[in-house]
Chain A
């Protein structure tokens, strides 16, 4: 009789030293096992193969290199520190002597740490359970116990997967959130100097279209602020405001120099069939709230047609273009998107704010000396981040040494681009986490 049994070990923390002592048998269909988070762990007979398997799962989970092992240690230490802090806060908050002001900030920190410590606790318990299973597996002898091996195998797999999820959760919670991640964005593209034919300008248009399609793919709103075409259908420079969910987080690593390599199809150069290289630059600016950037009207010089002479009832005009010059910084912004001059002024002011905001952020970031591969801001602006090779039909992102095939699909700005961006984000998160743990490790040594 193949009786499917599930064995539940009800864990009593105080008895954790002697896991074999208490085993309760329930008759339940195999598939209905529910792992109650952190408390109930399935234990079965020991199995050498299981042991191996779990080990394999473990290392696969943690990308197999020494850096990760080290990270694991650093992670352990960091989590220990957090847990200690949490306990200390716990005790602290229970005292009545803490005054109101401090209590507020302590409460907040306590609330911040609560989920992290909870996850960490679960991870520790799950890991312990696996250890116990491993050790139990070692002492499998009789035929009866061997029956349980298969069940145990599957159960340990389940714990393993649970552990994976918990690690991901922990990872996500630990990665420091960037201040501006949720902001909307102003995306600017500028063509590079043309070296052969007009490939830079063609390319600029293709890239701008790609981001427009991407915005559509992600259900963001794409608002054109400026569009200056070049001759022969290319694009000289353009700007758009993209608003939606966490736009900056996704697009921040798109800033930098994008390089194109292709054989031009128009012009004299096309006859030689030689590969030309061109560049274009993408700038991604997070959009500030009104309060973040104060612009003093006295610092602005506003150029419109009207400065040229008479106005009001004496003149009928339809020229509503506006150019704003921020005198202290020398930033210039133009807009002629709307018929109403006032609206153009508002749009130009918004763009100016974004640029100034960028400068403010730069000042913030300059203080931190970061050795990361993925940079944002003016540091990244002059870096060549990606090459689009049309003759070889591939796109290479140099920062993570990642290649994508099928340029045409990529330039459609849908799945291809999204996958690359997800990779970049993951890479960035890892870098950020490593930096965080590194700092923590070093600071307390």
Chain B
């Protein structure tokens, strides 16, 4: 009986709520007695599914259920839902929707694929398996690129400037966030998979940036494939989040990644350098004299990259700097090398596992730790 009474009240307040915005809210304060969040309310469902996920060993159980429930209720995060919605019982349709999505989660599908979208640098992008899901660390790469571009006035302002090449565009996260924050820029986005190219195109259209982006199906590892890019002229920037996982580490990746994301987007070969080395090889042919390359890489890469560059003096590239992300791990930044092209690399994640203790933070280093190599 009690449950029924609560549901009735919930249903009534729901009606009032529908009459519009704040009034629905105000009405909730008329009750000096607030019913507890019933099991069929948003909060109740989050609790329920968190427990289910935890039991089945699904990582980030609480976050997953919160995002799914919020999504079904039309919000991006549970926190941003109107608080009154947390305790209202849900409709049968909503309950069914949540059930279906949570079942997908039980099969270890990443939340981003379940929701079909995710946010990156303030843009909401469509996500679809098996196209690579943008990582939060890459947001900082964008910030860094923007800082560097701002410091070079000649690169910005003129139409089509800067001209950026992105290798391995995936969902278009990097390309589109650069386009949206550099209004005069143009991007040539390249990927070897058709799924990625069409997803990038779709996201570009959603964000109405399709006029400034050119998407090309291209495999940079195929010899001389880059010559197809020559007609667009020399580039100001080459950016990439290339597959950089060491091949032997691939098996240790979580099921979310192994089973759903394209391994081609992750596997960088024995030392994770396969695609990186190809990008570095094609760069001198396509970059302007003052151009830069920005890469996201594994923490072990700066040394590998620098020694690889030493073996290829014909490229006239120099590793300029390495920058840590704001969690204190290695990131790389450019500096004026003088006499050669600039190479910058940025690397999140250090592959070491730390205990999740109370003090789980790093002191951030100064943004540009400048390391120059000859």
**Surface stretch bound by A, among B188-196, B314-322, B343-351:** B343-351
CB–CB B350/A316 < 8 A: no
Please give, as numbers and ranges, the residues of chain A lying within 8 Å of B28 by CB-CB distance. Answer: 209
B243 lies within 8 A of chain A by Cβ: yes
CB–CB A233/B349 < 8 A: no
CB–CB A338/B119 < 8 A: yes
CB–CB A307/B327 < 8 A: yes
Partner of B34, one of A202, A306, A339, A340: A202
CB–CB B352/A302 < 8 A: no
A440 CB to nearest B CB, Å: 45
CB–CB B67/A318 < 8 A: yes
Partner of B296, one of A265, A312, A339, A413: A312
**Surface stretch bound by B, among A282-290, A293-301, A369-377:** A293-301
Please give, as numbers and ranges, the residues of chain A lying within 8 Å of B356 by CB-CB distance. Answer: 308
CB–CB A224/B60 < 8 A: no
Q: How far is the CA of A295 from the CA of B256 in the complex (A)?
A: 38
Please give, as numbers and ranges, the residues of chain B lying within 8 Å of A229 by CB-CB distance. Answer: 43, 83, 86
Q: Which residues of A from 376 to 390 have beta carbons under 8 Å from B?
A: 390
A115 lies within 8 A of chain B by Cβ: no
Q: Which residues of B from 101 to 158 have beta carbons under 8 Å from A?
A: 110-112, 118-122, 133, 135-140, 143
Known: A213-B26, A315-B254. A310 touches B111 (CB 8 A): no
Partner of A316, one of B83, B138, B261, B347: B261
B355 CB to nearest A CB, Å: 8
Interchain pairs with CB closer than 8 A, number = 173
B304 CB to nearest A CB, Å: 16
A311 lies within 8 A of chain B by Cβ: yes
CB–CB A302/B364 < 8 A: yes
CB–CB B364/A298 < 8 A: yes
Majority secondary structure of chain B interface residues (helix, strand, loop or mixed): loop
Q: How far is the CA of A302 from the CA of B328 in the complex (A)?
A: 9
Q: How far is the CA of A278 from the CA of B80 in the complex (A)?
A: 28
Please give, as numbers and ranges, the residues of chain A lying within 8 Å of B19 by CB-CB distance. Answer: none
CB–CB B360/A313 < 8 A: no
Partner of B244, one of A205, A313, A317: A313
A359 lies within 8 A of chain B by Cβ: no
Please give, as numbers and ranges, the residues of chain A lying within 8 Å of B249 by CB-CB distance. Answer: 314
Q: How far is the CA of A316 from the CA of B325 in the complex (A)?
A: 17
CB–CB A209/B349 < 8 A: no
B253 lies within 8 A of chain A by Cβ: yes
Q: Which residues of A from 303 to 333 have beta carbons under 8 Å from B?
A: 303-304, 306-320, 325
Known: A212-B25, A318-B64, A318-B112. A312 touches B135 (CB 8 A): yes
Q: What range describes how many residues of A lie at the interface?
A: 35 or more
Residue of A nearest to B23 (CB): A213
Known: A209-B25, A302-B327. A314 touches B360 (CB 8 A): no
A164 lies within 8 A of chain B by Cβ: no
Known: A233-B36, A318-B63, A342-B121. A310 touches B353 (CB 8 A): yes
Q: How far is the CA of A345 from the CA of B110 in the complex (A)?
A: 23
A19 lies within 8 A of chain B by Cβ: no
CB–CB A316/B76 < 8 A: no
A260 CB to nearest B CB, Å: 11
B230 lies within 8 A of chain A by Cβ: no
Q: How far is the CA of A210 from the CA of B29 in the complex (A)?
A: 8
Partner of B118, one of A304, A314, A339, A343: A339
A333 CB to nearest B CB, Å: 14
Q: Which residues of A from 251 to 282 have beta carbons under 8 Å from B?
A: 262, 265-266
Partner of B26, one of A209, A265, A337, A339: A209
B257 lies within 8 A of chain A by Cβ: yes
Known: A313-B245, A315-B254. A343 touches B119 (CB 8 A): yes
Please give, as numbers and ranges, the residues of chain A lying within 8 Å of B26 by CB-CB distance. Answer: 209, 213, 412-413
A227 lies within 8 A of chain B by Cβ: yes
Q: Which of B26, B87, B298 has the most CB of A within 10 A?
A: B26
Please give, as numbers and ranges, the residues of chain A lying within 8 Å of B30 by CB-CB distance. Answer: 408
CB–CB B122/A224 < 8 A: no
B32 lies within 8 A of chain A by Cβ: yes
Q: How far is the CA of A213 from the CA of B23 in the complex (A)?
A: 8
Q: How far is the CA of A224 from the CA of B86 in the complex (A)?
A: 15
CB–CB A309/B137 < 8 A: no
Q: How far is the CA of A315 from the CA of B249 in the complex (A)?
A: 12
A297 CB to nearest B CB, Å: 7
Q: How far is the CA of A341 from the CA of B137 in the complex (A)?
A: 9
Q: Which residues of A from 98 to 131 have beta carbons under 8 Å from B?
A: none
CB–CB B77/A338 < 8 A: yes
Please give, as numbers and ranges, the residues of chain B lying within 8 Å of A311 by CB-CB distance. Answer: 135, 137, 325, 327, 329, 348-350
Known: A265-B32, A412-B26. A310 touches B351 (CB 8 A): yes
B225 lies within 8 A of chain A by Cβ: no
A411 lies within 8 A of chain B by Cβ: yes
A323 CB to nearest B CB, Å: 9
A336 lies within 8 A of chain B by Cβ: yes
Known: A229-B86, A317-B136. A265 touches B29 (CB 8 A): no
| 11 pairs, A vs B, C-beta closer than 8 Å | A206-B29, A209-B25, A212-B22, A227-B83, A229-B83, A303-B360, A303-B361, A306-B137, A308-B356, A310-B351, A318-B64
Chain B interface residues (CB < 8 Å from chain A): 21-22, 25-26, 28-30, 32-37, 43, 60, 63-64, 67, 76-77, 79-80, 83, 86-87, 110-112, 118-122, 133, 135-140, 143, 241, 243-245, 249, 253-254, 256-257, 261, 265-266, 296, 298, 325-329, 347-354, 356, 360-364, 366-367
Q: Which 10 A-B pairs have the closest CB atoms?
A: A311-B349, A233-B34, A312-B349, A312-B348, A339-B119, A340-B119, A341-B136, A309-B353, A265-B33, A216-B22
Given A300-B364, A312-B244, A314-B249, 7 more pairs with CB closer than 8 A = A205-B34, A262-B32, A308-B360, A312-B349, A314-B349, A318-B112, A325-B361
